[in-house]
Amino acid sequence: MKKILFLMVTMSMLVLAKDISTEEVLKILNNPNWVIVDTRDTNEYNGWDLSNLGVNGHIKGATDFSYRWLDKEDLNESNKKILKERVTLKNIKADKNIILYNTNKEKSKIVANYLKNLGIENIYFYNLNQNENYKSLPFESYKNYKILVPAAWVKDALDKKKAKVYEVSWGNILNAAIYLAGHIPGAPHINTDSIEPPPKWMIDTDENLIKFAESMGISKDDTIVLYGDNVMASYRLAIILKYIGVKDVRVLNGGLSAWQKEGYELEVGNIKPIPIRNFGSKIPLNKKLIVDIDEAKKVLIDNKNKNILVDIRSYNERIGKESGYSYMDRKGRIPGSIWGNSGTSSVTLENYRNIDNTMRNADEIVNMWLNLGIDPNKNLTFFCGSGWRAAEVLFYSEVMGKNGNSLYSNGWMEWSEDKSNPVEKGIE
């Protein structure tokens, strides 16, 4: 049973809003006084046709504000603040006319009541199911939206045995309490130490990465779906699997929480993987996806032309106020790199996500880059402390269709370890 949580409001509090037709929506497209807002599931905005509309993605030019973001389980004080800031960023303001659209008006009403509490009154409803000519509207989707999958797709793929699903998190099976308490049925646990061994937690050798894939039953021709309670770990492994040559690697958008919100069952206990003898290649097949320190230095030399080294760390890490890691002492930044923002700490990435840990609106990510001096049309090499945050951002850039980007996997950890490498500190 799907779990739809409504804000605690009475019917008398509902925003008095007018239903609007397709013809009216067509007339106000590109009108700066109107803001079109997609209130559906984030995956539908990205490109998935979960409502069998026969069109993919969102109305061209629309922003997003999913009714799911108002699930009371996600509305802690920090997320409330983020949501309020995002409303303004999306140009949803009291002096604008706001069109909320969905296939279910009741879900749009959840968003409408939230906006009313912020003083936004000029609200209109557009129902895709009640306007048969909705296909006359221009729709757009992310080029590679299919690599970031909704829980419904994962469930279908498992039922039809079309994919292998793995839970990814740090720690061996004895320490994987969340996994043992409940995981997607049939999904083995992957300890991230298997791809970045301690004590330095830098990426393992090419040979060992391929042996790891074989030990987990992963071949280059498999369809692999990764998820976890901490979604960042999934993206870390996803980039590594793509690097060694797995052709079809996908991540569950929103991680374990997304599966649970659909009401799908969980399985307890440990699932052991079935190893295979041959990955299908003895060398990585996508070598350009992950670069080493020498290649990162070449990016720095060329960063005024086609390439940029982008720092996906917190601001305090960037200016040298903190290292971000208990096992990393040196502080500062790589001279010549450009800050790409991240979150408030070394383990968060809220500036690239919605509050339910799904991928943030691509237009907002691109605008953030532009404001930081990052040209999204150049080849971007992302780095962070040890590769987790940067891998997630790289994956999002691939969802957006921005090919040619890469990961400096060992990042600040490797750079700062060599005292001969230059370091900058302080406010830029």
Rounded CA-CA distance 390/409 in Å is: 8
With beta carbons less than 8 A apart as the criterion, state whether 217 and 274 touch: yes
With beta carbons less than 8 A apart as the criterion, state whether 425 and 318 touch: no
Residues contacting residue 201 through CB under 8 Å, at least 6 positions apart: 193, 327, 386, 413
Query: Token pair 């079935």 is at which residue?
Result: 274
Cβ-based burial of 52 (10 A; exposed 0-12, middle 13-18, buried ≥19): exposed
- DSSP assignment of 208-242, as one string? HHHHHHHHTT--TTSEEEEE-SSHHHHHHHHHHHH
- DSSP assignment of 271-322, as one string? ------S--S-SS-S-GGGEE-HHHHHHHHHTTTTTEEEEE-S-HHHHTTS-
With beta carbons less than 8 A apart as the criterion, state whether 24 and 125 touch: no
Rounded CA-CA distance 299/316 in Å is: 24
Structure tokens at 422: 């230059």
The residues with which 19 forms a beta bridge, in sequence order, are: 125
Under DSSP, is residue 249 helix (H, G, I), strand (E, B) or coil?
Answer: strand
How many CB atoms are located within 10 Å of the residue 255 CB? 24
CA 301 distance to own-chain centroid:
30
Which of 384, 390, 399, 400 is flagged as catalytic? 384
Phi, psi of 110 (to 5 degrees): -60, -45
**How far, in Å, are 166, 231, 285, 376 from residue 213 at the CA level?**
12, 20, 14, 32
With beta carbons less than 8 A apart as the criterion, state whether 311 and 334 touch: yes
With beta carbons less than 8 A apart as the criterion, state whether 114 and 87 touch: no
* Residue 362: closest CA among 388, 324, 401, 332: 401
Does 384 participate in catalysis according to the annotation?
yes
* Residue 111: closest CA among 52, 151, 141, 71: 71
C-alpha torsion angle, residues 270, 274, 280, 285 (rounded to 10): 10
Query: Annotated catalytic sites, by residue?
Result: 384
